[in-house]
Structures are given as structure tokens and as C-alpha cells.
A and B are shown apart, each in its own frame.
Chain A
Amino acid sequence: MDTLRVDLSIPLRAFRLELALEVGAETVALVGPSGAGKTSVLRAVAGLLRPARGLVALGDETWFDGLVEVPPERRRVGFVFQEYALFPHLTVRQNVAFAGAERADKLLGRLGLTALARARPGQLSGGERQRVALARALAREPGILLLDEPLGALDPHTRAHVRAELREQLHRLALPTLLVTHDYADAAALADRVGVLVDGRIVQLGTPAELLAAPASPFVAEFTGVNLLVGEGRPAAGGLTEVVLSDGTRLRSTDRLDGSVGLVVYPWDVAIAREAPDDSAQNHVRARISAVVPLGNRARVTLGPLTAEVTAASLERLRLRPGESVVASFKATAARLTPLG
């Protein structure tokens, strides 16, 4: 299995994309807000965009290094475009056969598309189109798979289903895969490693668990959905660390870390009550609710610097509404400390 090596410098409208990355036999996701340069990375790897300078190489094949520039049709990439870019005038089978006629039937079978072989793209559902796009990309026997927002064109209803399906397929293919998405949940579900791309730079690259446990910046934390509270850490009684936030709030963690620290707490570890409860939690923060976002059987409640995830039932029972003053609490054992540069 060849390793993709990418070292890019691409001037974009508002900033310069500078990025170095290696992708082995794994799935790497680049996440970031729209306009962060995610798609440009894929286009540069595929040869659809010429970097100002840098290197794109798969194994010992150099595709771009300033002197060499291999055209897209001779790079072994399987590119799945955001809206899938299926050829509307060709049937499903013809779409797949376009990239490799001798492998078309086998791939249609493998992706469960045999029954749809004679259908045209316009007659397919979003999930089916996605499978056709994947089959077509695989038909040219790529050395690397590039996926641009693979779930972006799907409605929320089919998204979870297709996500599980794609995850299974990527796992079976065991091809080096680079995908970009603006949705951290998709990245975490599909990728072995996740890079957070902001303004053309990777601010953090790690496993989904690493990003959750130790976000390198408030932005990464916001993206992964965890709480990151920035403050000064100092030793406290009982071997704990006390973190003083800029507004004077004092919080406790069982981790030991001094100086400028980030305190990470997962929203599902934060409880909400009307009055400060007399329980084992060391951290109580009183604040007004600024937002309540229902998510099916759960809801995200934002109060002060914290986001808590509570069940819809609790939301109803406690009658939590924006503007109300409540107490958020979490245990010192649920508060992870991570050093901040």
C-alpha cells in the first residue's frame, strides 16, 4: 500500500493554504468551516488545481513537485465529488464502466447496485448516487481515495444510514483515503485521524479521541463540541488542581497541571439543576441559559461558558428555557486538563 505525501502551498482568496500531510493505509479527515481550503487540498492532490509550490506523491510516483506536473487522468486517484458529479446521460453501469469497463460488473455487485445498472442518475436516491460515485471512483483502481463532503448532499434522514454504510466500505477497502467535511461527527465516524483545518492551516491532527480529550484551541473544542475553559492552573488541597477562569470562576480537576491550561469537560458529563445540589460534584457554575437546541431525544443547553447535554425528558421536567438562571455541575474527575501554548 503506497503512502500519499502532500506538502502544499496554495494562495487562496483570503489566505494561503499551507499544509503537510501523510496518509498511509488509513482514513484521514480534514474538518473545518467552509472556506478553510478543504476542497482545494483534494483538488491539488487530484491535479485539478496547481499549487504555487509543494509536493504531491503517492509511493514513489511524483505527481507534482514544481517541475513535474502529472495531468489528472494519469494520477491514480478515486475522486468522489461533493454532489457526486455522475454523468447524467449515462446509466449507472455506463458511469462505472467509464473508468474501467472490465471491473464495472464486479463493483456494481460489491456495492449492491446490480439491480440499478440500467437506471440513470436522475432516478437514484442520494445514498444510491453516493454508492455509484464510489463504485465509479474505484473502477479506475485508484491508489488513493479522495472524498469531498461525502455525506454533504444527503438529507439528515438518510445521512446516518449512509454514514454507517460508507464507514463499513472504507474499512473493507483499506485504501489510503483523504476526506474533507465540515461536520466533525462525520469525520469522527469515518476517519482514523482527523485534522482540523482553519484558514489554510492544520491546527491539530490526531485521533478523534485525542481531539476530544485534548483540543489544542478553543476553535478545535468548538468544532468537536466539547467544552474548553481556558484559565490558570494551580495546585489545590487533596492533590487536585484548581483552575481560575478569567471571570474569576474556580473549577477543580483531578488532573495535575500548572500554568495556562485548558479544562475539557464533555457536554454529557455536565448536569443541570435549578439550585446547586449537595452532591459529590466539586464544580458548580451558576449562569443564565443562552440557548436550548433540541436534538431528537436530547438537547444541548448553553449557559455561560458551558454546554450541557441533557435528555429531552429532563429538559421538559426542569422546564429549561433561555434566560433562566440554573446551576451546571460536573465532577472534578470529569474535568480533563490540557496544556495550552
Chain B
Amino acid sequence: MFAAAACVVLAFLVLPVAAIFLRVAPDDLVGRLGDPVVRDALLVTLKTSAVAQVLILGLGTPAAYLLASRRFRGRSIVLTLVELPIVLPPAVAGIGLLAAFGRTGLLHTSVPFTQTAVVLAICLVAGPLYARQAVAAFESVDATLVEAARTLGARPGRVFLRIALPLAASGLGAGAALAFARGVGEFGATIMFAGSLQGLTQTLPLAVYAQFDRDFSLALALGGLLVAVSGAVLLAVKLLAPWTRFASTSPFLSAPSASS
């Protein structure tokens, strides 16, 4: 009975992915990658995801370290606010971004419907995933090691670079991979805040949506490409676990709600 349930679950989870590759032949799929729609969407996706990833890692890592190593009043509220966008429906994130950055929004900017808008949408939706994982990774670094480093004459900056960062590395890497995958797949907030302009704001998922009633096999090819990207990210996360043996973090999907 258990085995039957497991088979049903597995079949259900694998079937949609398998269907993509069963509907288009592999060489056909590779051939459709030369299509201008696919090429443009791939370039937009890679560019915006890369910029967003730099912002997420560059700002999220020090912020997460601070949140993980300081105890202050209202800390759990701050952590909850950081995690809020994770559970927020993407459409709400999109309308919120418009309300904040739109021409008639709070900040009166001309960001909407530009590539900057795509980057901001990815940052809002994927950033918290990284931040949450990074806080957990830094919290799992033995506090005594940080104290030992300080008694050995290391200033806080050196403690961060030489001790905390390497010891949290596998957890940070897993978080970065998750955020990247979420960013590449981002759809709802992007289409509301940045639109779906080919060559400018149309990312791979948006291209799938734009093509599925025009050219279903092109949409399938785009889907196959996204499956490949997601598979690569998942593989990277799995490989990160043995990457640093001494790290004590449980990488990936451990519930890192860090308010304890």
C-alpha cells in the first residue's frame, strides 16, 4: 500500500516534466533554441538573473551575518519581515512593486517595464530565500570559534572573512542556488511590474506564456530549457553538501526559521 502511494506520487511529479521531452524530439528541441524568441528570452533571463544574484549575494550576505550574530529587541520581527515575501503571492509582489516604484507610486520612478524592473522583481521574490538560508548558515557556525578568533586578535571584519564565511559556505551556496532557480523561474511579479517585451523584459517563463497559444512546440522547447536549468541548479545544491565536509549546516530545505 505504501509502495503504491509512493509510485503514484512519483509518477505524478515526474509526468509533466517527462511529457515536455516526450512531445518534442531532442534534436528538434535543440533546433528551436536558435529561434530569436528563445535567444532573446535566454539573454534577458541570464542578464537579469546575474545582476539580481550579485545584488542578492552582495547585500544579503552581510545583512544575514548581522542578523545571525546580533541579539536585539525586535529581531524576530525583522526576521519575519525578511521571510514575508517568500509566502507572498507573486501577483501581490508585482502590484506592490508598482505601487512603490510606479510613475504614480510612492517613489515616482520610471523603473516599471524596464530590465531594472525585472531585476527588482527577482530580488524581491528570490532574495528572501537566500537571506533566510544565509541567516541559518551563519547561525550554525559555532559561536565559540568566532570568540576564539577574536581572542586571537582578529577584528570583526577578519573574523567574518576567515572564519564565518568559509564555515557557512555550503549553506550559503545552497541558498544562492535556490535563489537563482527561483529568480530564473520568476513569473507573476515580473509580468505585472516589467511586462513581457521581447528582448527587453521577456524572460524564459514569460516567453513560455507568450508562446503557448501561438507556437506550442516553441513553448515546449523553452520549457525544456528551463527544466535543464532547474535540473542543473538542483544538482549543484546536492553536490554542495559534500563540497565542504566540516560545515555543520544542513543545507537546502531544512526549516531555517531563525527566531529561536
Using a CB–CB cutoff of 8 Å, the interface residues on chain A facing chain B are 46-48, 71-75, 77-79, 81, 83, 85, 87-89, 98-100, 120, 122, 136-137, 139-140
Contacts and interface: CB of A to CB of B under 8 A. Distances in A.
A71 B150 contact: yes
A81 B148 contact: yes
A98 B149 contact: yes
Contact of A98 (B142, B147, B162, B167): B162
Please name the 10 residue pairs, one residue from A and one from B, whose CB atoms are nearest each other, closest first. A99-B152, A85-B148, A88-B246, A79-B151, A72-B150, A85-B144, A140-B153, A89-B166, A73-B150, A73-B153
Contact of B148 (A71, A75, A79, A139): A79
Contact of A48 (B151, B152, B155, B167): B151
B160 to A, nearest CB: 13
A122 B151 CA distance: 22
B246 A122 contact: yes
B244 interface: yes
B33 interface: no
Nearest to A121: B246
Contacts of B152: 73, 98-99, 136-137, 139-140
A314 B198 CA distance: 96
Contacts of B244: 89
A46 B154 CA distance: 13
A85 B147 contact: yes
Interface centre among B145, B148, B154, B246 (most CB of A within 10 A): B148
Interface in B227-260: 244, 246
13 contacts: A48-B151, A71-B150, A73-B151, A79-B148, A85-B148, A88-B246, A89-B244, A98-B152, A99-B153, A100-B153, A120-B246, A122-B246, A137-B152
B163 interface: yes
Interface residues of B, number: 18
Contact of B163 (A46, A77, A87): A87
Contacts of B162: 98
B154 A98 contact: yes
A81 B144 CA distance: 8
B151 to A, nearest CB: 4
A73 B154 contact: yes
A143 B3 CA distance: 67
A42 to B, nearest CB: 10
Nearest to B150: A72
A122 B248 CA distance: 13
Given A88-B167, A122-B246, A77 B151 contact: yes
Given A73-B153, A136-B152, 7 more contacts: A47-B151, A72-B147, A77-B151, A79-B148, A81-B148, A120-B246, A122-B246
Nearest to A77: B151
A75 to B, nearest CB: 8
A120 B144 CA distance: 18
Q: Which of B142, B147, B149 has the most CB of A within 10 A?
A: B147
B145 A85 contact: yes
Given A87-B163, A89-B244, A73 B155 contact: yes
A85 B142 contact: yes
Contacts of B153: 73-74, 99-100, 140
Contacts of A87: 145, 148-149, 163
A89 B148 contact: no
A81 B142 CA distance: 13
A74 B154 CA distance: 9
A98 B166 CA distance: 14
A82 to B, nearest CB: 8
Contacts of B151: 46-48, 72-73, 75, 77-79, 137
A43 to B, nearest CB: 8
Nearest to B152: A99
A251 B154 CA distance: 60
Contacts of A120: 246
B81 to A, nearest CB: 30
Contacts of B163: 87
A175 B151 CA distance: 17
A75 B154 CA distance: 11
A179 to B, nearest CB: 15
Contacts of B148: 79, 81, 85, 87
A202 to B, nearest CB: 24
A73 B162 CA distance: 15
A118 B77 CA distance: 45
Contacts of A47: 150-151
Interface-central residue, A48, A122, A137, by most chain B CB under 10 Å: A48
Nearest to B166: A89
Nearest to B246: A88
Contact of A83 (B144, B149, B246): B144
A204 to B, nearest CB: 29
Nearest to B142: A85
Interface in B107-159: 142, 144-145, 147-155
